[in-house]
Amino acid sequence: MFFIESSSLQMATEDLLKELIGFLGPNNRSDVRAMAAKHIVEMTGGDLLNASDSVKQIWETLAVPQLVRWLGDQESISQPCRDALVNLSAHAMFSPASPCVSSKVQFWRWLIDEAKASGPLLVNLTTHTTGPGKIEEHIIGGTNRACAELLSTCSVAKDEKTKEYCLAAVRNLTVHEGARQGLAESTPSLRLLLETLALGSTFPQRRDAAGALRNLLLSKDSGVHGRVLAADGAGWLTASLILGLGTEVCPPFSELNDTLDDERQERENMSPVLAKLFRGELTKTACLDPDREARDLSVDCLLLLASLRTGREKLRETKVYPAIRAYHPHEPDSELSDKVYDLVDFLISDEAKDIVKTHEESSKKDESESEKQATESNAAWSLD
C-alpha cells in the first residue's frame, strides 16, 4: 500500500472536515477548492486508524465523492485530491466498493489511462480483493487489456516511479484469470516481465515483475509454462538471481575454454541470456539495491517451471545448472539457499534412472504382495 506522508498529525474534527468538504463544492472558485484539497491531504496524513466512527463516516460518505469528482480537474486541484484518496485507500476508507466509483466506468478507465498520475491509487485499489474484478467488469477487454496497456506505459516511461506503479498494478491484476491468460498469450509482455525481473533499475520493479510471473506460473498449465520457456524464461530467471546479488557480490564467470571438453559440453546449447552472463556482458547491469524478496520470487518461478517434466527437461537443456552452481555459494540468505537446493535436486537428477528405479520398486512391491497373498491362501487351505 502507498501512503502520502504529511507533516501535520492533527486529526480532523467533524466540523472542520465538513467545512473543508464544503469548500470543494462546484460553486467555489478553483483556488478555494485547491486550498481546501491541500488541507484535506494534511488531515489524511494523520492517524486515520484511530479516527472516531463518525469521522470515518464523514470521510467515506462526504469527502470521498468530492475528491473523486475533481480527479480530472487542473493539477493544482487534482493532485491533492489524488493524494488524499491514496491515504484513504490505504486505511480502507476508500475502496473499489465505494458507491461513488463502484460502477463508474470513467473512473476505472482514468486509472489505467493516467497511470503516471494515478499510479499509487491504482496500486492501492488493485491490492484490494475486489479491485481486479472491478477492472475486469468496467474496462473493455478486462484485466487482459489493462495489463497490456500498463506494460506498454511501463515500456516507454522515462521515470522509474511510473514503471514501479505499472508493474505493481500488473502483479495485483494477475490474480485474475483474464490477466494471466492475456500475459501468457503476449510474447512482448512476457519478454518485458522477464527482462525487468533481471535488469530492472529498482528493487520494486524486479520484485513485482517476478511476482506477476509467479502468479502466471501458479496455474501449472503446460502451455503457459511452455511460452515462458520459449521466451528464455529459464535464462532470465537464473540471471535475475545472479544479478540480484548486487554489484559487490555478483560472482565473476570465467571465459569458456574451448580446449576443455567438460567445460565446452557444459555450456553447449546454453540459454542465450546465460551465455551473455558467462561472457560478462550482463555483469555491469547487476542491481544497485539487492533484496532477498525479488530473488525469492525468482526461485519460486524456477521451482514452478521444474514442477513439470517438460520444464525440467528445458531447464537442463538450456544449461541452467552451471549458473545456479556459480550463484549458490554467494546467496547470503540461508532459507533461500535451502530452496535453491530443492531446485538443484531437480536439475541434477537423472529422470530416466528415477523412472527405472520407481518401476523396479513397484515391481518388487507387486512381487511382495503376490507372495503374501500366496502365503495367506496356502494358510487358508491348510485350515481346511
**Where does the pLDDT of residue 254 fall: very low under 50, low under 70, confident under 90, or very high at 90 and above?**
low
Would you say residue 10 has pLDDT above 90? Answer: no
Please check whether residue 89 is in contact with residue 125, taking contact to mean a CB–CB distance below 8 angstroms.
yes
Please report whether residue 2 resides in a domain.
yes
Distances (CA, A) of 61 to 99, 270, 303, 331: 9, 59, 47, 50
3 state SS for 147-170: HHHHHHHHHHCCCHHHHHHHHHHH
Place of cell 544497485: 288
Q: Which pLDDT value is given to residue 282?
A: 81
Residue 163 lies in a domain: yes
Share of the chain above pLDDT 70, in %: 83
Please determine, for residue 259, whether its predicted confidence score (pLDDT) is greater than 70.
no
CA distance 200 to 357: 44
Question: Within 10 Å of residue 210's Cβ, how many Cβ atoms?
Answer: 31
- Picking from 94, 111, 142, the residue at the C-terminal end of a domain is 94
Higher-confidence residue of 224 and 3: namely: 224
Q: Are residues 175 and 135 in the same domain?
A: yes
Q: Is residue 258 part of a domain?
A: yes
C-alpha dihedral (180, 181, 184, 186), degrees to nearest 10 = -110
Q: Is residue 254 part of a domain?
A: yes
Q: Are residues 90 and 118 in the same domain?
A: no
Residue 250, φ and ψ in degrees, nearest 5: -50, 120
Say which residue, 372 or 57, is predicted with more confidence: 57
Average pLDDT of the chain is 85
Residues 352, 247 share a domain: yes
pLDDT in tens, 155-178: 999 999 999 999 999 999 999 999
> 347 vs 384, which has greater pLDDT?
347
Q: Is the pLDDT of residue 382 over 60?
A: no
Question: Which pLDDT score is estimated for 349?
Answer: 77
In a domain, 190, yes or no: no
Confidence of residue 311 (pLDDT cuts 50, 70, 90): very high
265 CB-contact burial (10 Å; exposed 0-12 / middle 13-18 / buried 19+): exposed
The CA-atom distances, in angstroms, between 181 and each of 184, 208, 217, 348 are 5, 18, 11, 32
From 72, 94, 116, the end of a domain falls on 94
- Domain-ending residue, one of 134, 159, 185: 185
283-298 confidence digits (pLDDT tens) = 777 777 888 999 999 9
On whether both 24 and 119 belong to a single domain, the answer is no
pLDDT score of 202:
93
- Please tell me the predicted confidence (pLDDT) of residue 360: 46
Are residue 155 and residue 82 in the same domain, yes or no? no
**How many domains, in total, are found in the chain?**
3
Whether 370 maps to a domain, the answer reads: no
For residue 230, the Cα-to-chain-centroid distance in whole angstroms is: 20
CB 124 within 8 A of CB 170: no
Could you tell me what percent of the chain has a pLDDT over 90? Answer: 65
Q: Are residues 143 and 8 in the same domain?
A: no
Look at residue 246 in the predicted model and tell me its pLDDT.
Answer: 85
**Model pLDDT, residue 369:** 52
Question: Do 289 and 336 lie in a common domain?
Answer: yes
Residues 229 and 180 in one domain: no
Query: 25-39, pLDDT tens digit by residue?
Result: 999 999 999 999 999
Maximum Cα–Cα distance for the chain, whole Å?
107
Whether the per-residue pLDDT at 384 is higher than 50: the answer is: no
Residues 73 and 124 in one domain: no
Cell numbers for 13, please give them: 474534527
pLDDT at 238 over 50: yes
Rounded CA gap, 81 and 33, in Å?
10
Burial degree of 226 (CB within 10 A; 0-12, 13-18, 19+): middle
Domain membership flag for residue 379? no
Average pLDDT over residues 99-121: 93
The reply to whether 83 and 21 lie within a common domain is: yes
In whole angstroms, what is the distance from residue 123 CA to residue 114 CA?
13
Q: Which residue has the cell 541434477?
A: 348
Residue 199 and residue 314 share a domain: yes
What is the C-alpha to C-alpha distance for residues 316 and 339, in angstroms, rounded to an integer? Answer: 18
How confident is the model at residue 252, as a pLDDT? 62
Judge whether 383 lies within some domain: no
Q: What domain range is 136 assigned to?
A: 103-185
- Both 205 and 173 in one domain: the answer is no
